[in-house]
Amino acid sequence: MKSTLGLLTFILSIGFAIGLVLSMIGGTWYGLSNDRALIGFFGFGVPLLFTAGATISLWTKEKLLYKSFAWVSTILGGVCGVCLLLLIVGWVIPLREFNPAWGYFFGFGIPMIVFGGTGIGIILE
């Protein structure tokens, strides 16, 4: 029962993570307003923290599932890291009119540290 419930919270976590990353990408490169991107960051980010925490607590004794959560978290941290790298490259080498708000730096940086740090911490445990 705990494994099944953990799978449901894991699926919710994946959905919230995709929403978080897509709202930040939409705000940075595709003209989504800063207000909507901020709402997307907190609207997807806060539930993501709760569902990911529930997944971790439900899968702690299931080593294979626990490690798969860690790898997905690490990959998501890597995606946020690549987006952050592209954002910085866009500031340094502007190929077109590119002037995103500084909040996007934190919008990609904070999830990169949290997701990547959590995943790596679990993998190395």
- Contact 24/44 with Cβ under 8 angstroms? no
Residue 102: per-residue pLDDT: 76
Q: Which residues contact 95 (CB under 8 A, 6 or more apart)?
A: none
As a 3-state breakdown, the chain gives helix, strand, coil percent values, each rounded to 5, of 85, 0, 15
Residue 61: per-residue pLDDT: 85
Residue 98: per-residue pLDDT: 66
- Contact 31/90 with Cβ under 8 angstroms? no
Alpha helices in 30-97 (DSSP H): 34-59, 63-92
Provide the residue count of the chain: 125
Residue 99: per-residue pLDDT: 67
Residue 106: per-residue pLDDT: 86
The whole-model pTM stands at 0.83
Residue 63: per-residue pLDDT: 86
Whole domain around residue 82: which residue ranges? Answer: 2-124
Q: How many domains does one find in the chain? A: 1
Low-confidence ranges of the chain (pLDDT < 70): 95-96, 98-100
Residue 2: per-residue pLDDT: 78
Label residue 104 exposed, middle or buried (CB < 10 Å: 0-12, 13-18, 19+). buried
